Structure 1
């Protein structure tokens, strides 16, 4: 059966989608400057995200896009923020963070204050927030807040919304009540409770009938959020993720991505360490897979190019009476990274100017760690851009693990064993402790390059990746690296496709296409070149993210170079 969506106000749809990135940023920062953000502000923010999500669904009803996924996640977080405020403030600490506008707020206990009854959530607000949490897979993360907020609701006559609150509490949070829904106020339970009970009982026919009634009942409102009825979507999502039931009714009211949790046929080695899908293997075996790069060109103006080049030159030009300072080289590498990114965004392959950025950046990074390795009180001799220079020995926190990883990527891309050597000798923590959530990834990289067993650190990095899934930042290509050290060429290519898709999807959200690293992932490109150069593997992914000129150069590395790098 097909159910068409109702018509909504076209002007409100246009307003919801217009310049949302900047508008939501202004909204959350305006609220934060106006004083304490309470249930009201978090609900208004959630409403804005929902309106935008509804507007997105008018052009893509399945909502299967990175943008929609990011918007749903923050809608759920903002709505849960309202519930958390009602549950915890002012007696307990908690925090709310929204990835899309990169905004967060922490709350500390305010001793001596009592809860303000104005900041409770209503039963309907509780239900809407939980429905968003179901769809975004955030119920377990916020379960305690939902339970506390329910207990703090004032005693009032039982309403359909309150019945549904208790039905959800029984289903998710009370083991003793997991097999039974609350007693309804009428002889015939409302459709939502019937659907919830059907999920509990595994009764597919009863669920389909109740869901159809819910969708037919309406109305759903004239704003864009009305195109996304939260209760039916959440129940359909719960049924799909519990029993694998796909909705029996055909309707855009139930976007496929929201029901399935953005499930895709998908490449490949997403499940950490699991066998790749046979169809994905066949896909790569049939020939190179093309992956587009939607990021727009981000050229630098002549003045910016000249400024970055001038500052780089200043870092490697001795001044009369003053010693050179390796700290200046860290800024020079950042300048070359910006030039590299801008030039990469303008071309699908490596230009001569981009190659020059890579060679110079590789030498700059290596020079920093030659200086860090030098004995205190001595000087290190380095070669940069054809110049032989001497720098006083120095170890600075700016030579820390993040800088080491960037320098290493440059060296792996260029394939310069001379530049790679000091990085391997120094390691990521020669100048500062690694407090990065993925410190084990850098340890594994270092172990691999210095000939130690990388598997223990790699396994730790994979566990870290599982714990930090969906945190709003782009993790390093841990799975890709794990396939490299396992020596599995096919799975390496599958993981390469996954890693590049994750990079592309991350930079497809909000205004991240303008980020410096959008056009290229140095980490991924470095591992791809390293696999070509040291193992002779073919790369079966064709993309502007992997400039063919660089991969071809890596594949032409003479045998002696491969053996030398493998022995480092």
Structure 2
């Protein structure tokens, strides 16, 4: 039986125009990257906001504008790591419907494990296997935050995902270590509500996925979405934040499960249907 998890809140009267304005702003920032990539991390954040804004008004991702927002975010996430991986010359990247020559940026503090996870989730959602591979080939040490802003389990989690996708040995051991290090009694940096509401659920979902636990996957997905909703409705400020409109990590793991033949017996506007079921795949070059 399919379970429905309702999304919190409702789009305001100007939500559609807000999404359109964000898309226009994103296009300008992408164009500007051909002159300088110093603000590429800010541009990537803008594309994520644009995707979430479009999903807020188009919860099934039925409009081509929503798919385009997802593709732009995915392409820019990959471009961010491409230009920060080299310090000289240029990098060829497809972003916003065309190939672009972007100046090399060299190391950037925000090109870290947290940003990597968002870029990887987007590549999974867009079914961009080559980009997933390129992201997974980035050395883990390059993703370490110089400010020490993450608990160690974040790096273990990235290592686990890279190991899975590149079919390296040690997946079970690394996933087990990730579970242990993400326990609230061990993690010290991430606030408990953030850890339990947003950061841990994708790990639990991934565990169900790699075990091909068809009976347990959908209940775990329901729990992940309910925890997502609980986190984003803790107070009025969070409830009004566009970031809560979709559950990016759970959506990406659900995409892996869907493509792997695991039944997804959950419906939710946190999981836009046409992103989950890759309804727009092949509409234009990614």
**Alignment TM-score > 0.5, same fold:** yes
* 3-state secondary structure, aligned to 1:546: coil
| Structure 2 residue 48 is the aligned partner of structure 1 residue 337 | yes
Q: In the alignment, what sits opposite 1:367? A: 79
Would the alpha carbon gap of residues 427 and 494 (structure 1) be closer, same or farther in structure 2, given more than 3 Å must change?
farther
1:378-527 aligned within 5 A: 378-393=89-104, 394-427=106-139, 429-433=141-145, 435-437=149-151, 438-439=153-154, 440-452=156-168, 453-467=170-184, 471-473=192-194, 474-476=197-199, 477-511=202-236, 512-527=238-253
Q: Following superposition of structure 1 onto structure 2, how do residues 199-348 of structure 1 map, counting pairs within 5 Å?
A: 287-298=1-12, 300=15, 302=17, 305-306=20-21, 309-317=24-32, 323-325=35-37, 327-348=38-59
Deviation readout 1:359-385 (Å, 9 max, x if unpaired) = 1111111111222334x4232211112
Query: In 2, are the aligned partners of 1:360 and 1:384 still within 8 Å (CA)?
Result: yes
Distance 1:303 1:507 in 2: 20
Instruction: Tell me: CA distance 1:463–1:432, structure 2 relative to 1, closer, same or farther (3 Å).
Output: closer
From the superposition, tell whether residues 514 and 448 of structure 1 become closer, same or farther in structure 2 (CA, over 3 Å): same
**Contact 1:312–1:335 under 8 Å retained in 2:** no
SS of the residue corresponding to residue 324 of structure 1 reads coil
1:246-269 alpha-carbon deviations (Å, 9 max, x no partner): xxxxxxxxxxxxxxxxxxxxxxxx
Unmatched 5+ stretches in structure 2: none
Q: Which runs of 5+ in 1 are unaligned?
A: 1-286, 558-568
Q: Does 1:550 align with 2:266?
A: no
Superposition deviation, residue 443 in structure 1:
2.2
Q: Bigger radius of gyration, 1 or 2?
A: 1
| 8 Å contact from structure 2 (residues 56, 242) kept in 1 | no
1:288 and 1:481 map into 2 onto residues whose CA distance is 20
Distance, in Å, in 2 between the alignment partners of 1:312 and 1:431 is 27
Q: What is the TM-score normalised by the length of structure 2?
A: 0.82
Residue by residue, what CA displacement relative to the aligned partner does 1:76-124 show, whole Å, maximum 9, x if unpaired?
A: xxxxxxxxxxxxxxxxxxxxxxxxxxxxxxxxxxxxxxxxxxxxxxxxx
Kindly indicate whether the alpha-carbon contact (under 8 Å) linking 1:291 and 1:543 is maintained by their aligned counterparts in 2. yes
CA pair 480-427 structure 1, distance change in 2 beyond 3 A:
farther
Alpha carbon RMSD of aligned pairs, Å? 2.7
Give the TM-score normalised by structure 1.
Answer: 0.43
Higher relative contact order structure (alpha carbons within 8 Å, sequence separation ≥ 6):
2
* Distance in 1 between residues matched to 2:98 and 2:48, nearest whole Å: 21
Offset at residue 301 of structure 1 (A): 6.8
- Which whole-Å CA distance do the structure 2 matches of 1:545 and 1:457 have between them? 29
